Amino acid sequence: MATTRSAQEQSRRAVFASWIGTTVEYYDFAIYGLAASLIFAPLFFPSTDPTVGTLLSLSSFAVGYLTRPLGALVFGHFGDRIGRKTVLVVTLVLMGVATFAIGLLPTYSQIGIAAPVLLIIARLLQGFSVGGEYGGAVLMTVEHSSDRRRGLFGSLVNTGATAGLVLANASFLLVFQLPDDQMLSWGWRIPFLLSSVLVIIGLVARYSLEESPDFAAAKEQGTVREMPALEVLRNHLGTLLLVAVGIVAAGSAFTMATVFSLTYGKVALGLDNSAMLTALLPATAVILVCLPLFGRLSDRVGVRPVFLAGAASLVVLPFVWFALLDTGDYVLMLLGFALLFVGYSANYAVVPAYFSQVFPPVVRFTGMSIGFTLGLIAGNAIAPAVSASLLNATGGWVAIASYMALTGLASLAAGLFLRIPDAVTDRQPAAEAPAETETEAEQAVG
């Protein structure tokens, strides 16, 4: 019983430690996306054509994804070589330093071309650290969880993305209340500097966490690989590519809703900065509710069916979302965001439990991190810039919604081919095996 209680306590700690890291990751992601959409153009990318300035600013958002694969490779290697815990502490520190530094940067009017260069360097460092953050975070949770709760606990980690988004949008909503001259001179810096508070909380949580039992077992058995990346490329390349394609739809939907929607509201609908946020923020409650619901459902019916249903919905929902946004009616706009977030939640809730288990433990950090990162580049990174270009070229949203629908089809196809090995689904932590056996015996008697 003591062993079981200890395992349960570590499982809860793993969920929180992973959740706070994901919160920091998406808080940093969201505040940069908001700033790139609405603020950075005149501060760091001045241009005689506002559209060009916005495109350059959104491109700086995408630049952060260039170093993610390198971060995934480096941190994935060490995560499979020396352990999950140490790597997660390092990635959190690097991410916090980069975000805090952005809040201190001088602008173009103060130091000229050096300003956007320094901004891009900080963004690259953000991307490098995040490359190993999410994969390691979900592994710590999934590998600390029993088989019958992996879907739920993994989905709880993913609520950190929404928590980070809400905190970021709330902080900028307050900043937008300042007069324009104060917002552009010092107000925009506040959300970046506040990131340090979340980082400190995350570090305290991660230091108190034990190493993942799956990695500890691999180390004890002497099966840790010298070059996990090479083994992934040799033996699991197809799985890695399917993971990359599988995450594209969720990444695209999240980025479009939280980043590009602000640009769309301003350029196409003529809304001010706070108008779209007041529709977006309440709708995020849908994600907080639906993620654990779909995670719990996946523990009963399987992660794959839930993932496929979510991907299929993301083929249709972008058209519904844009149509409702174009009404300009607050209630209908709110409904549009809510519907898109339901489909996103179904698809994304099971990603931790589903994608981590398709790789064996000895190369899991590397495979998960690289696959997830490549998918983010194809989904999150280019979506705002591509959509801004489509909007500029067509003047409407149909081409943009079609682009999002294609990402949904791609993820649906990947899910149809991606399978969890039977050896993984049959695994049960030793501390919980007696309880499972007793439950099965009681059911047999009943």
The pLDDT tens digits of the residues spanning 102-154 come to 999 998 888 888 888 888 888 888 888 888 888 888 888 888 777 778 888 88
In this model, does residue 443 exceed pLDDT 60? Answer: no
- Residue range 340-345: mean pLDDT, rounded: 96
- Report yes or no: 350 and 298 within 8 Å, Cβ to Cβ: yes
> What is the C-alpha to C-alpha distance for residues 386 and 211, in angstroms, rounded to an integer?
41
Q: What is the pLDDT of residue 389?
A: 86
Q: Please return the burial class of 191, using the count of CB atoms within 10 Å of its CB with bins 0-12, 13-18 and 19+.
A: buried
pLDDT bracket for residue 164 (50, 70, 90): confident
Contact 342, 286 (CB under 8 A): yes
Q: What structural domains and CATH numbers belong to the chain?
A: 2-208+223-420 (1.20.1250.20)
Question: d(Cα 353, Cα 241) in Å, to the nearest integer?
Answer: 17
10 Å CB burial of residue 446 (0-12, 13-18, 19+) is exposed
d(CA 170, CA 188): 13
Average pLDDT over residues 274-293: 88
Per-residue model confidence (pLDDT) at position 317: 97
User: Which is more confident, 162 or 410?
Assistant: 410
Of 92 and 380, the structure prediction assigns the larger pLDDT to 92
The pLDDT value recorded for residue 433 is 36
CA proximity to 407, closest of 373, 369, 376 = 376
Q: How many alpha carbons lie under 13 Å from residue 336 in its C-beta half-sphere?
A: 25
DSSP character at residue 397? S
How far, in whole angstroms, is CA 240 from its chain's centroid?
17
- Tokens representing residue 9 in the block: 């306590």
Q: Which two tokens stand for residue 121?
A: 């360097």
Distance CA 249, CA 344 (A): 8
Q: How high is the pLDDT of residue 245?
A: 95
pLDDT the model gives residue 438? 36
Q: What percent of the chain has pLDDT over 90?
A: 26
pLDDT band at 22 (very low <50, low <70, confident <90, very high): confident
Q: Comparing C-alpha atoms, which of 267, 254, 402, 247 is closest to residue 322?
A: 402
d(CA 139, CA 116): 35
Q: What is the pLDDT of residue 436?
A: 37
Residue 154 CA to chain centroid, in angstroms? 12
Q: How far apart are alpha carbons 429 and 65 in whole angstroms? A: 36
| Alpha helices in 256-363, H assignment, sequence order | 261-267, 273-301, 303-325, 330-349, 351-356
Give the pair of three-digit tokens for residue 310: 């979510």
